[in-house]
Amino acid sequence: AQTVTQSQPEMSVQEAETVTLSCTYDTSESDYYLFWYKQPPSRQMILVIRQEAYKQQNATENRFSVNFQKAAKSFSLKISDSQLGDAAMYFCAYRSGFTHTGKLIFGQGTTLQVKP
C-alpha cells in the first residue's frame, strides 16, 4: 500500500523569505501523480501544484515550486517570497495512475506560520 509522510508538523518562515516543506512517499508503482494542497483557516482545500511522475521537470506555479526526486521518493514544496496569505496547513497527496477511482492518499499535513 502507498503511504505519504510529512515529517514536519509545524514550520515557520519570515515574510518575504523562502521555506521548504518536506514530503516523502512510498510506492512500488511507476505511474502516479503527486499534489500539494493548501488549507487556510477557512478550511477550503486549494490545489497548489501537481506533478506527474513521468515528467522529469519540476512543476512550478508562480512562487511555488517542487523538488521531485523520484528515486528518493521525495516531493518537497518550496515557497518563495512568502506572504502572510501563505499561512495555512499544507498537505502532500499521492494518486495512483493505475486505479480508476483516482482517490488521494494524504500526508499528515504541515502547518505553516508566516511571521511579519
The nearer residue to another protein, 6 or 82, going by C-beta atoms, is 6
Question: Rule CB under 8 A: is residue 11 a binding residue for another protein?
Answer: no
Amino acid at the residue 65: S
Q: Which three cell numbers stand for residue 98?
A: 493505475
Provide the minimum distance between the beta carbon of 97 and another protein in the complex, in angstroms, as a whole number: 10
Q: How far apart are CA 72 and CA 15, in angstroms?
A: 30
Rule CB under 8 A: choose which of 50, 70, 73, 78 binds another protein.
50
Mark the segment that binds another protein (CB under 8 A) among 15-23, 64-72, 77-85, 98-106: 98-106
Which of 32, 36, 68, 91 lies at the binding interface for another protein (CB under 8 A)? Answer: 91
CA dihedral 33, 38, 44, 47 (to 10 degrees): -40
Q: Which of 28/101 has CB closer to another protein?
A: 101
Backbone φ/ψ region at 44: left (φ over 0), alpha (ψ -120 to 50), beta:
beta
CA pair distance 48, 55, nearest whole angstrom: 18
Q: Which residues bind another protein (CB under 8 A)?
A: 35, 37, 42-47, 50, 89, 91, 101-104, 106-109, 111
